[in-house]
């Protein structure tokens, strides 16, 4: 049966001997803009591609401000600082995510609390969140206090897994009620909307990544979006070493970060961004083909959740059990068709083993069964 799957995927990418999980594609103005950038000599901290990208990205997502960063992890780090997270605070997130989400929380000296995901969205479950807040937390002097640790829960970071939006409006309502700042890790969900609103625009701040494996790439890059002008100005300041604008003086008014996106990367990104609609359409067609194929093979294919439009960044199937998963991985990878299991749950990593976890039934179930399929845009 797996040989069937191998040949089906090989036929999806007929010109490739090795089929990777998500290869970038440069078929637009990438070389023109990058060359133009090199010729201008403005490859680093100054140049118009950064400004152009920020303006276009804000417009596209329907956000008032966008601040480009060196990568998605940096975007998350700064967003959490701006959400008010400080040392010894706590931040709610999901265990089923890429390490960047939990790392960014830890950079500040804050601790993640891992709550379960929904089976349908694979993102943070508002039911798990509600249960945890009602059973284990209390609001004292306008702060959400974790009754187990007596620490303040400052923020909540849901992630839109593989580009499929989680039930973000319900999460937002709970966060508002419990005085918790909502920061969306939308690294994987550029082009995905929930109830016709772009992911990343529900919270106080939203972050995206343009790493090489994402739907569009700048080699490395990220962006923060927000509707709040004060936060936007702070985000720019903190990501650019807090330099006070002046023609020649070097005045920095606080300890900050060198997290800006180089203009050279922004040039590549502007060209990639022009391709986004083409990529989204192409990927939706691909997911349609997978869906049809797996329906006739009695394997569950992950479809976009209700009320949402997914970018189908990474296609995935849910296999019957761990044994079937491992056979599937073995057979496809032996045949140069790259498939991958979902991440190991964050709470299982040695470095997060002391973090608070609640019931993680769904995350544990998915961890043993989910496999990602080749999902790159096809020529």
Ligand X SMILES: *Cc1c(COP(=O)(O)O)cnc(C)c1O
- Positions touching ligand X (CB under 6 A) are 71-73, 97-98, 100-101, 159, 185, 187-188, 209, 211, 222
Smaller CB separation from ligand X, 193 or 199: 199
CB of 270 to ligand X, least distance (A): 18
Specify the DSSP element, H or E, that contains 168.
helix 168-177
At closest approach, how far in Å is the CB of 101 from ligand X? 5
Beta strands 111-114 and 90-93 are: parallel
Q: Which is nearer to ligand X, 137 or 157 (CB)?
A: 157
Query: Smallest distance from the beta carbon of 112 to ligand X, in angstroms?
Result: 13
How far apart, in whole angstroms, are the C-alpha atoms of residue 293 and residue 289?
Answer: 6
CB of 61 to ligand X, least distance (A): 17
How far apart are CB 185 and ligand X at their closest, in Å?
5
Quick one: tokens of 45?
A: 């901290």
Residue 25: count other Cβ atoms within 10 Å of its Cβ.
Answer: 18
208 token code pair: 């995206």
- CB closer to ligand X, 137 vs 171: 171
Q: Rank residues 63 and 69 by Cβ distance to ligand X and give the closer one.
A: 69
Closer residue to ligand X in complex, CB, 122/286? 122
**Shorter beta-carbon distance to ligand X: residue 113 or 215:** 215
- φ, ψ for residue 359, nearest 5 deg: -55, 120
Rounded to a whole number of angstroms, the minimum distance from the CB of residue 243 to ligand X is 23
Q: What is the dihedral of CA 63, 273, 195, 99, to 10 degrees?
A: -90
Q: What is the DSSP string of 305-346?
A: PTTEE----S-EEE-SSHHHHHHHHHHHHHTTB--EEPPPPG
């Amino acid at each position: 049966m797996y040989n069937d799957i191998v040949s089906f995927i090989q036929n999806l990418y007929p010109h490739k001997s090795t089929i990777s999980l998500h290869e970038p594609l440069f078929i637009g103005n990438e070389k023109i803009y990058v060359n133009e950038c090199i010729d201008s000599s403005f490859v680093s901290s100054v140049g118009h591609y950064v400004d152009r990208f920020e303006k276009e990205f804000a417009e596209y997502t329907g956000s008032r401000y966008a601040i480009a960063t060196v990568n998605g992890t940096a975007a998350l780090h700064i967003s959490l600082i701006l959400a008010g997270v400080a040392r010894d605070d706590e931040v709610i997130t999901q265990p089923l995510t890429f390490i960047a989400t939990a790392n960014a929380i830890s950079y500040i000296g804050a601790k993640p609390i891992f709550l379960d995901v929904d089976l349908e969205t694979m993102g943070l479950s508002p039911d798990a969140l509600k249960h945890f807040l009602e059973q284990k937390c209390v609001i004292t002097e306008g702060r959400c206090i974790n009754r187990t640790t007596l620490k303040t829960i400052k923020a909540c970071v849901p992630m839109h897994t593989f580009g499929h939006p989680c039930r973000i409006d319900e999460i937002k309502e709970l966060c508002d009620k419990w005085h918790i700042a909502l920061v969306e890790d939308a690294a994987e969900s550029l082009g995905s909307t929930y109830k016709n609103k772009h992911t990343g625009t529900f919270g106080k701040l939203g972050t995206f990544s343009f790493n090489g494996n994402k739907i569009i790439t700048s080699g490395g890059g990220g962006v923060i979006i927000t509707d709040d002008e004060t936060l936007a100005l702070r985000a720019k300041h903190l990501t650019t070493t807090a330099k006070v604008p002046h023609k020649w003086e070097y005045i920095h008014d606080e300890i900050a970060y060198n997290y800006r996106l180089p203009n050279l990367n922004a040039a590549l990104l502007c060209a990639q961004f022009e391709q986004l609609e083409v990529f989204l359409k192409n990927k939706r067609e691909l997911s349609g083909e997978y869906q049809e194929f797996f329906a006739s093979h009695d394997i569950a294919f992950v479809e976009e959740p209700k009320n949402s439009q997914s970018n189908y960044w990474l296609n995935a199937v849910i296999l019957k059990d761990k044994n079937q998963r491992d056979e599937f991985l073995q057979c496809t990878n032996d045949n140069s068709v790259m498939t991958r299991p979902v991440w190991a749950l964050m709470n299982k990593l040695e470095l997060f083993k002391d973090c608070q976890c609640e019931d993680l039934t769904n995350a544990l179930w998915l961890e043993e069964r989910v496999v990602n399929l080749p999902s790159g845009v096809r020529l």
